[in-house]
Amino acid sequence: MNGKKICFVLDHKLHHYRIPFFKKLSQKGYIIDIYHIGTEISFNEERVKEKLISFSKPLNKLLHFDLPSLQGYSVVIFMQNLRLLNLWSATLSFKRKSKIIHWGIGVSSSRGLPKNKNLISFLRDFLSNYADALVFYSEFPVQFFNKKNKAKSFIAHNTIVNRLSKDFSSSKKDSFLFIGSLNERKGLDVLLLAFKEYLSLNPSQIKYLNIVGDGKKTLVDKFKQFVQENNLSQNVRFVGALYDENEKRKYFESAVACISPKQAGLSVLESFSFGVPFICFDNAISGGEHLNIKNGFNGYLVKSKKELISRMLFMVNNEKEYRVMGRNSYEFFSRERSMDEMVSQFDAAIKYATEK
């Protein structure tokens, strides 16, 4: 056990799905403090502590955290958010004694992953020169960094722990699934239009769309009104938010595929953990999680609503194909996206930074 004291500075609240990651990382011998701007979560882990911090927003766009001195840590791991002033001051400080690691998507992703290097990419690359190691959610951003920064880059694929994980690829199917918070960025309106056209083509089976999640009442009412006005009430089921994991699991069990047209995050990995393929647009808003989808292998990356409909029809009319894709999804998750692998990459990055 190494006993190194490290800290993470998150640019968001601490999410429950991160708890297994921090617990497993602490089992490598690290004593971990987590600075975040949310509410406290009960870890029940002696070697992991939370530190709640306040923040301000200079110029309404930048972020500044009220952080104590971080000099007592062997390694400080910042989310690589270029709007965070503390990231710049800590990384560029000539007085710092701690090693600095940047962690994140590695590119701007609010409009989908970029195709070319831009001004923000150059700024990120410049600042990364002064970090001791870089950890990314996927391999995608590495192409935008210089040779020096590539050499100190580690890939810790974003993933989840699912204690109820099971391969449901051979289960009885009767529906498609949308799961997650209901907001305009995810493209549920596109999915509802696609599902309406899909039904008009008289598919031989799979005539339901389950929507698991909740959002602003005005937006949910808008979606429900669309369903009612287009005579889809018998086919589209608004389940609402589910907090019981066993209840949520039932909807994955009966799903041919999980679909989120315009945004794809950790729901991709959750879907795979149940042996369910995933479909989204190839330019979906994502931290790189949608890059886990390999066309025709464990899901589809589509370019339009028309192609989405085509893929939905193909899947329901080719049962063997969607069952093979489901099995591929589960095996890919189990083999290549385990939490142990994510923790292993972080451990390697920390050791690299401290041994420099």
Q: Tally the domains of the chain.
A: 2
Are 82 and 141 in contact by the 8 Å Cβ rule? The answer is no
The three-class DSSP label of residue 257 is: strand
Spatial distance between the Cα atoms of 254 and 177, rounded to a whole number of angstroms: 9
Query: Do 320 and 347 reside in the same domain of the chain?
Result: no
Query: Do 235 and 271 reside in the same domain of the chain?
Result: yes
pTM of the predicted model, to two decimals? 0.91
Residue 215 falls inside a structural domain: yes
Query: Do 21 and 45 reside in the same domain of the chain?
Result: yes
pLDDT at 214 over 90: yes
Query: Do 183 and 320 reside in the same domain of the chain?
Result: yes
Q: Tell me the residue range of the domain where 92 lies.
A: 5-159+338-355
Residue 169 falls inside a structural domain: no
DSSP 30: -
Token look-up 């994510």 returns 342
Residue 165 falls inside a structural domain: no
pLDDT at 116 over 90: no
CATH of the domain at 109: 3.40.50.2000
Tens-place pLDDT, residues 227-267: 999 999 999 999 999 989 999 999 999 999 999 999 999 99
Query: Do 199 and 270 reside in the same domain of the chain?
Result: yes
Q: What is the DSSP string of 182-216?
A: B-GGGTHHHHHHHHHHHHHT--SS--EEEEE--B-
DSSP 171: S
Banded model confidence at residue 2, pLDDT cuts 50, 70, 90: low
What number of H helices and E strands is found in the chain?
A: 11, 15
Contacts of 105 (CB under 8 A, 6+ apart): 80, 136, 137, 138, 141, 287, 288
Tell me the percentage of the chain whose pLDDT exceeds 90.
88
**Where in the chain does DSSP place strands (E)?**
5-9, 31-36, 48-52, 55-56, 64-65, 75-79, 99-104, 133-136, 153-155, 175-179, 208-212, 236-240, 255-259, 278-281, 299-302
Query: Do 182 and 323 reside in the same domain of the chain?
Result: yes
Query: Do 315 and 193 reside in the same domain of the chain?
Result: yes
Query: Do 89 and 33 reside in the same domain of the chain?
Result: yes
pLDDT at 355 over 60: yes
pLDDT at 8 over 90: yes
Query: Do 155 and 182 reside in the same domain of the chain?
Result: no
Residue 164 falls inside a structural domain: no
